[in-house]
Structure 1
């Protein structure tokens, strides 16, 4: 057989032995697993189930391809707008998760009021199912925060018809009131109304209701912490919102309302530019309307004074060549007017004011710069709502706005300068035309000047009216920024507690607890428990028998025809001893067995008596000699004996006859006792007396077996003095009593020759550890025990 196969076989045997250590405690595992699973089910029934609610929205990225975005590229290249390089979609996610948005949501839904119902010992939250509603008229946030910290803000409510009784859960204070009337509860003034739409779950429904008012700050912090907002895909603007909560309907309302509040704010931001543009247009319309009225009045007075009708028909021939001039002059004048107005508006405003957009100025560069400027102002104003002027982002934006303001102003001045140059060129052309119409009467020239002013004012007036309508239309049809893909919905399966995980965890814990206890017990145990411990620690000394643990109700002595486990164990021990006495086969009778142990209390006398009874039941003549002269125990079994003399007296007094000291026992006619007698002051010297050998030689002639019940050999040297006369030494080790470290003493004693022909007898073995781990049963020939009796034996 190869060494590898031997190693494998040894490992397999060791593994089997380790498993067997735990299998014999199988009732522990059953009870532990059962209790753990029961506790897991109790936990599942008592714990609040938490559900995950989801909603999905798409953020409309309207500015992605707009000229406003592309126009910023030139400034970004120069490093002017470096602070704007942020992900807009992540900004929107940050806004959705912001405290301000959650505060608006909580305030809209009144979620700082929690409705409760009390069912036996369990308090549950009720949402939209309670028979009353609560409105807060006044609220002192400071007092509420103090009362919340002291758990004084929860009230039970009961009513009869229109009368209400509120009971504070903390101090039991009662407040009587009526439905619909203001109620002062200390930190707030509330009104409680009946819910006319309430329908009981059952006709016999008996539920006790209550409510708790919490600070909005704490509620906002709770929901803000639990809110999940993340991109479905990195390349999309699809955002999935998630919220965990014990009340699915409540979580759904929170997500839906959060989307509504987000869209409201987005619409407000979008309309802010349009509102400022409308204000600018209205102011300009008032001015131009006044100027147009003035021109028309002048024209009316001019014609009345000169009695004019149709001057154009008279001067049409002269002014045909001036039509193109008039058209260009009109356009340039309009552009100059708009440019001047924009410059005035820009100089009078500040960093928080938006510039009018889309007024019709020629030159895409100026319009693009105005759009870029407005975008920066909107970003600054939105961040400033939840920040201060010292915020680095605000400071950076102010610098960028100042730079952009300067750029816009320079562009406007450059545009105006270009328009002035164009106007000068037109004026030069006008001189040529003027020479051609010099023959036109001054009246016609004056009339045409008035008409020209009237047309300019009318064109500008109509242009502003058109822009106002366009601006009003864009203000009215502003679409929400977040398009709802999926309204808030709740998964049917709770996310916590996870039933399968809890039950499996309970099963695992129930299984591991006994393993841990048994393993810890084995690790910490320094006592001999079963024969394996002896075989490992003292391989040099054979084990002749194992004696099982005996209950107090059972007899400790073996009787004739005894079929108990105790009797069988001693029969097995005697059979094993025969193999050890094979070298002494020439000795037909008078076999001397010395019974000893390491320390007291290991069962030497118990073993000696039952060993003798077993031999006596086999029709062997047996005597038990009390050889422990210091602490004799044999007298306990010799109840009723009147003799006080024994071994010590025989060794001292040579006049005593041995037969006079021997007494037949009541247990068996073949069993005699020779007690230790009087306790001498010098046991060791006495045991060295020659009469000890003579006594044992005399006993050999009359008895088949002589069993010497001696003293513990580790404590005194008495046993070593007697050992020289013994044919066999039975060394008693008591399970769960003898320390493993003490097993070295018999090994050393055997090596030193102090003891010879040594064999172990393992006493008081637990039935679960009896034999080879009780694998093959220990009750052969006895009544078979029921499952419940076997179960109880492990406890």
Structure 2
């Protein structure tokens, strides 16, 4: 009898063939799962992008000259449950800035050196932040895409010029959406530019997080300069070892912070920042717009807003309510944050698009 026909050998061959059939079935199931994950990934990405595009379309629908000239307190169509008082506060005209005594002609400003603190660049890199010495990665590429339209609008000239276009508010609907992560990375990405400086302002006055995240300690900040005319803003600035990056702390806590932010003194300070440093982008890491009135107060002074939307968590209704609170800012962009990709084809996880309100 042929050895290959012996019962033991035949049983061994049958088991091998059975294993091969099982492996083929497993590979088929794995391929089906991969295709299903890729399809779900694509469907999720499209849903999130449509959500942003619908919000952007809502803003564009109100961008006609007639609506721009209409009452500033008229809420956007379809805006949700924001109260009439909050809407009026968000859309009220910014106070007219009056020249400060320190900026009077004939009195050259006294040059003062700001403080200096070292950032732990290795720690920031481990936390997922952009660092000057890191190679190309997904986060750095995403924020290169995000910052470009912001820079173009900040330095636009002629008929395209935006008042205070270099003042950029970063906010979100609710805590946990990742707006501080986005604000810091946006500032770090802009700091990589060769001809642009950036000032990161910790403007989440109810819960300042930006400086703590960066590992910076400070006492005086923006609110101290607003409260006390004797405090020079230059004394509150902190230079860092990251080229082109300076930070401004929030400063002391105050129960009238929203009212102070809409004061003439605050208007003067922000106008001074915008005009004294024409090559500087100022990023305000602000409180969530649905959790505090601080964002709507600061939006009166800033030329641009970067609205952070958390993928799969922020609802269209919340976006509408947030846009209603930011009605005084005419140039609002969206950052879609925390996008998940389940398939093997990794795409950029951020989406950025601009729209225009009243």
CA–CA distance in structure 2, aligned partners of residues 661 and 682 of structure 1: 20
Aligned ranges 1:147-186 → 2 under 5 Å? none
CA–CA distance in structure 1, aligned partners of residues 225 and 46 of structure 2: 39
User: Which sits farther off after the overlay, 551-560 or 759-768?
Assistant: 551-560
| Residue 246 of structure 2, aligned match among 660, 672, 677 | 672
CA–CA distance in structure 2, aligned partners of residues 591 and 744 of structure 1: 25
Secondary structure of 1:539's counterpart equals helix
CA–CA distance in structure 1, aligned partners of residues 204 and 127 of structure 2: 27
Q: TM-score, normalised by structure 2?
A: 0.60
Could you tell me which runs of 5 or more consecutive residues in structure 1 were left unpaired when the two chains were aligned: 1-200, 204-497, 524-528, 543-550, 779-795
Task: Check conservation: 2:168, 2:306, Cα contact below 8 A.
Answer: yes
Could you tell me how far 1:565 is from its partner in structure 2? Answer: 2.5
CA–CA distance in structure 2, aligned partners of residues 564 and 730 of structure 1: 22
Q: Is the counterpart of residue 575 in structure 1 residue 165 in structure 2?
A: no
Deviation by residue 1:255-289 (Cα, 9 ceiling, x = unmatched) = xxxxxxxxxxxxxxxxxxxxxxxxxxxxxxxxxxx
Could you tell me how far 1:507 is from its partner in structure 2? Answer: 7.3
Q: Which residue of structure 1 lines up, in the alignment, with residue 203 of structure 2? A: 627
Could you tell me how far 1:649 is from its partner in structure 2? Answer: 1.8
Q: Is the counterpart of residue 700 in structure 1 residue 274 in structure 2?
A: yes
Q: 1:578 to 1:620 in 2, by over 3 A?
A: closer
Aligned residues: 264
Q: Is the counterpart of residue 534 in structure 1 residue 49 in structure 2?
A: yes
Q: Which residue of structure 1 lines up, in the alignment, with residue 110 of structure 2? A: none
Aligned ranges 1:378-417 → 2 under 5 Å? none
CA–CA distance in structure 2, aligned partners of residues 566 and 513 of structure 1: 27
CA–CA distance in structure 2, aligned partners of residues 765 and 202 of structure 1: 57
Q: 1:741 to 1:514 in 2, by over 3 A?
A: farther
Q: 1:681 to 1:774 in 2, by over 3 A?
A: same
Could you tell me how far 1:715 is from its partner in structure 2? Answer: 1.4
CA–CA distance in structure 1, aligned partners of residues 126 and 245 of structure 2: 25
Task: Check conservation: 1:538, 1:743, Cα contact below 8 A.
Answer: no
CA–CA distance in structure 2, aligned partners of residues 530 and 747 of structure 1: 22
Q: Which residue of structure 1 lines up, in the alignment, with residue 300 of structure 2? A: 724
CA RMSD in angstroms comes to 4.1
Q: Is the counterpart of residue 593 in structure 1 residue 108 in structure 2?
A: no
CA–CA distance in structure 1, aligned partners of residues 182 and 276 of structure 2: 22
CA–CA distance in structure 2, aligned partners of residues 680 and 504 of structure 1: 67
Task: Check conservation: 2:162, 2:303, Cα contact below 8 A.
Answer: no
CA–CA distance in structure 2, aligned partners of residues 589 and 728 of structure 1: 8
Q: Which has the higher contact order (CA 8 A, sep 6+)?
A: 2
Secondary structure of 1:695's counterpart equals helix
Aligned ranges 1:10-25 → 2 under 5 Å? none
CA–CA distance in structure 2, aligned partners of residues 732 and 531 of structure 1: 17
Task: Check conservation: 2:168, 2:304, Cα contact below 8 A.
Answer: yes
Secondary structure of 1:765's counterpart equals coil
Could you tell me how far 1:639 is from its partner in structure 2? Answer: 2.7
CA–CA distance in structure 1, aligned partners of residues 297 and 147 of structure 2: 25
Task: Check conservation: 1:590, 1:701, Cα contact below 8 A.
Answer: no
| Residue 742 of structure 1, aligned match among 315, 318, 327 | 318
Task: Check conservation: 2:37, 2:342, Cα contact below 8 A.
Answer: no
Q: Which residue of structure 2 lines up, in the alignment, with residue 565 of structure 1? A: 138
Q: 1:621 to 1:715 in 2, by over 3 A?
A: same
Q: Is the counterpart of residue 711 in structure 1 residue 287 in structure 2?
A: yes
Q: Which residue of structure 2 lines up, in the alignment, with residue 299 of structure 1? A: none
Q: TM-score, normalised by structure 1?
A: 0.29
Could you tell me which runs of 5 or more consecutive residues in structure 2 were left unpaired when the two chains were aligned: 1-5, 9-17, 58-123, 350-358
Task: Check conservation: 2:48, 2:312, Cα contact below 8 A.
Answer: no
Q: Which residue of structure 2 lines up, in the alignment, with residue 616 of structure 1? A: 191
Deviation by residue 1:454-480 (Cα, 9 ceiling, x = unmatched) = xxxxxxxxxxxxxxxxxxxxxxxxxxx
Could you tell me how far 1:738 is from its partner in structure 2? Answer: 3.3
